[in-house]
Structure 1
């Protein structure tokens, strides 16, 4: 299994080295920051208590052993050491953290006694950024609608479930931010000095109307620009026609078939697709290489990849994981067994195997008579290793199809059906 993962999803040594360096740098920066006079948390235990996280988590971070953190833990640690939100991710990406004292110098409205005009100007620029995010979300709705249409027309295309979830989360966060801004603006108006109340009303009433936009405050499922409506979508060019994709794919398949050995149609082929930006992986099985290539080509083009890059990736997909572009998808097609062998196999129980990406090794192989028993064993072992229950449930649910990470950078688990020849 380890060899298969190395072949299917190779990771460049320099990328690993850079990631390790950034993790160690994050630990050093956090350790130094908590001792700073602005923070004064002199021990890891004090930081853990201030952030409301475990001492082990802080110790692992400061020694560079762990960087895969839940969002709420990142936020809590950043707040405890007075880093601006997103600073931990910035450091892991090779950047530098943003300190609260720097923000206060850059945005004087955070300090007491500043002119109300400056406060209004800063709030206005923040609302400008929020409205840009809203436009991007509307564009994302249009993309989801297109991908859903592709999935409805062709059962081999997956529905954009993850995109829909991401959009719903983004809309919910935007709504919460708008409500927060609206509340702060109302407090500013209510607490205005009588001598300047007219000026405050003049400056802040338009800002309140922008923050509390009724359309933006609707829940995602009730917005007029939701996925089921095209009222708010930005005009875009026509999407690629599936029939045209199919004809082109068929033509290339025939050419590939002539160049390939005759026995390529006899077997089981596994197609692996990896989103290089998110790390998400999709695995599908086909009875012929031509079917696997056709699916991969249509899927990648529908995701916005350039056809020439897709063709180059498909051509190399039998030998290694071929990137369609620098930040696009990795694609791998491999023959795992012959069709005749596949037909002769009889169920012989289920194998559970775990994978630790930090050491790039497999461990804890177990065999169970039923799938249900295999899932129970996998769940118990992952919980024993300290994984969160909701992450374990998601990992076990997907374990029959891929090595499912219990969390980003956490343990993987695979459940495979055994067979007696």
Structure 2
């Protein structure tokens, strides 16, 4: 059967460097750091006392008080970003066939704040199991797409993908394939996360995964720098409206880009560390290129997973050099996590949006905070260091990897009729 073509017609973002798409893009181009001391709880006793938190977010500007109390922050973020994307897409909700509109969302953890609060309240009580009746509905990861569907009446496929930090990239790939196969006309996809909590910070600190650069948090997320010491935890959401091409054209939709391929693989190596030779990463990019039906030489930009961990950055760049060969030096490679921190399950979506906007504006955002060359990294690679670079981007790749060895890769191209 002939596969349908899939395009992006709407975008929404809620990030540590901007609370909508325009603010997010401007923050990326300016090289703005979203990192600062934690404000949502007192971090004085934690090894890491900073994170990339959402700024100036008031849930009561988006929900009434009763509704807000029923939603964990990760679900609030999902609803706000998806509302922006749906409005951006200009979909007539009264005219669309809602049985052919789905929501496929990614979340690596879900309602960790809710879980933490309820368990702490129980532990501090007298042993009587008195839990909030909204405990489970607030906590479960699938409640985000559930709430999006309920709000808009979308009755197509509805579920959450959970693959740690690859979650929202997996959601986008699933959405791509549902539309390709003709099962849906439109899918709202993306991801959200809100893990800047005592439990989240404490858990990642115990793994020695986070940077501890407490004296200068703004510079803590430093992918590819020789002195990187771990990732910076972030929070937020990214939403995309994916649509079948002819359906989008028929309603005169604005088209940002075409989604031309998605790839997945597994490291099958270690619970948290990548394979040192980047074998799984190499395979996922090859799978994505094969799925898209394009040659490696056609890729102009890669937004890497680039978390700022000592092992991960080297393994990914090694894999890029192997997959792209001599062409690797002609690609603008960057890591927008240097500005947003690591949004965990939302990372794939928010970074895919950065890739799409790079094509839209012919600008590749920088990898900030780079000071010292890492001798383990190929010096011929263009890592787009410290300053945005103007260039035409016709094909952009976005990489996302998760604990457990989950690798996902998505390819976007300017619409080519």
When the two structures are superposed, what TM-score results if normalisation uses the length of structure 2? Answer: 0.24
When the two structures are superposed, what TM-score results if normalisation uses the length of structure 1? Answer: 0.24
Greater length-normalized contact order (CA 8 Å, ≥ 6 residues apart): 2
Identify the structure with the greater strand proportion.
2
